[in-house]
């Protein structure tokens, strides 16, 4: 019997087109951030959908949302015992994104010399490890390809 393989997620599976601009690039990053945590992928996706449905899909809206409201959203998404940790981690990551790149992942990408530098910069954000950066980078290669054209 073979071990079950984790599902691979891609932006287009969620109606996202990272070549369209910063909004979809950020939504993809938010989803990957949630998927990169030790929780079932279905829970991460469900929680991401709640963020998007409620308009909490920019770094500023997340930072401006009260800890209590974010924590409740994580509970609703089934992050029961992990909700306060996720709230604090996500807010810290968003604050870093705003401080370092004016809240723009496109700016982070465009100011990176290459994909390795971009991945390294992503890992500087609180809660972004090698796997999260790898998943994010896997589907933004077209943004780097466009720069060469």
Q: For 21-78, how does the pLDDT look when each residue is reduced to its tens digit (9 = 90+)? A: 889 999 999 999 999 888 899 999 999 999 999 999 999 999 999 999 999 999 999 9
Nearest to 139 by CA among 35, 5, 3: 35
Are 136 and 98 a contacting pair, CB within 8 Å? Answer: no
Report the percentage of the chain scoring pLDDT > 90.
66
pLDDT, tens digit, for every residue of 46-56?
Answer: 999 999 999 99
How many of the other CB atoms lie within 10 Å of CB of 64?
Answer: 12
Domain 19-148 has CATH 2.40.50.140: no
Q: Which two tokens stand for residue 142?
A: 């077209």
What are the domain boundaries of the chain? 19-148
Whole-structure pTM value: 0.90
Are 103 and 60 a contacting pair, CB within 8 Å? Answer: yes
């Amino acid at each position: 019997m073979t071990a079950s393989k984790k599902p691979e997620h891609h932006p287009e599976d969620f109606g996202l087109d990272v070549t369209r601009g910063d909004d979809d690039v950020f939504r993809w990053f938010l989803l990957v951030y949630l998927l990169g945590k030790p929780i079932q992928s279905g829970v991460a996706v469900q929680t991401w959908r709640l963020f998007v449905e409620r308009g909490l899909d920019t770094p500023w809206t997340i930072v401006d949302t009260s800890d209590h409201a974010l924590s409740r959203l994580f509970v609703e998404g089934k992050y029961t015992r992990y909700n306060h940790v996720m709230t604090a981690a996500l807010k810290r990551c968003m604050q870093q994104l705003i401080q370092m790149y004016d809240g723009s992942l496109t700016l982070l990408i465009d100011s990176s010399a290459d994909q390795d530098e971009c991945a390294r910069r992503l890992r500087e954000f609180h809660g972004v490890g090698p796997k999260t950066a790898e998943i994010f980078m896997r589907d933004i290669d077209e943004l780097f390809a466009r720069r060469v054209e």
